Amino acid sequence: MQEALLAWYSAHRRDLPWRRTRDPYAILVSETMLQQTQAARVAPHFVAWLERWPTVDALAAAARADVIRAWQGLGYNRRAANLHRAAALVAANGWPENLTELPGVGRYTADAVACFAFGADVLPQDVNVRRVLERSGGRFGANCAQALMDLGATVCLARVPRCGICPLAAACPSRGRRFEPLRKQSPFEGSFRQRRGRTLRLLVAGPQPVGELDADALQALAADGLVAVADGVASLP
């Protein structure tokens, strides 16, 4: 299975900008942006981000407000604040041995940075990788990580996998199956997430009187370090 996967990957790999570097800072930026966001949407943001802040020291020295503004269009804005905090810690202390000590870095992101930047023999398992592993029952090394991600994203799809073009199909016990969605995503329209996003967009445009903003959304944004409130006025920090 591993040989078949790698042969397929050599012919079908996605050309993604974060695959052209082993810089741990760039990998951390990409993995943070990719959380719950599609690669095609992330790619232009990633390139623009590294043009503006090419090193971890450059990001650490940036104003939080500028970081939040640059993040617009990616969603889940607390990721921007966590990335900024992580950059400050790395700039001050270097990369920790346990990468999960960095703000916003969970097991998967830590494994991805360790594998793609530091060459660790660990297979990072995002949702696409886990899907392929569970369905195929195959065993794959860390050198298969990017191939598994591409296979899960483009062939071994969540509900209706494209088994007819899958390089693992011949030995896959799940070949031909269809799958129900694991969970239904709650609607965005009318959600608290939408309220947070609307409030933050107002503050990206400029400071606003607190009394004119959604109080609960403002409180949540402040708790995440995304806004500051002083003298009855809310603004980016």
Distance CA(217)–CA(88), nearest Å, equals 26
Q: Per-residue b/e over 167-205, b at no fewer than 16 CB within 10 Å?
A: bbbeebebeeeeeeeeeeeeeeeeeeeebbbebbebbee
Contacts of 137 (CB under 8 A, 6+ apart): 172, 173
Distance CA(62)–CA(219), nearest Å, equals 24
Hey, how many other C-beta atoms are within 10 angstroms of the C-beta on 151?
26
Catalytic, out of 31, 51, 134, 189 = 31
Please confirm, yes or no, whether 31 is among the known catalytic residues.
yes
Residues designated as active site = 31
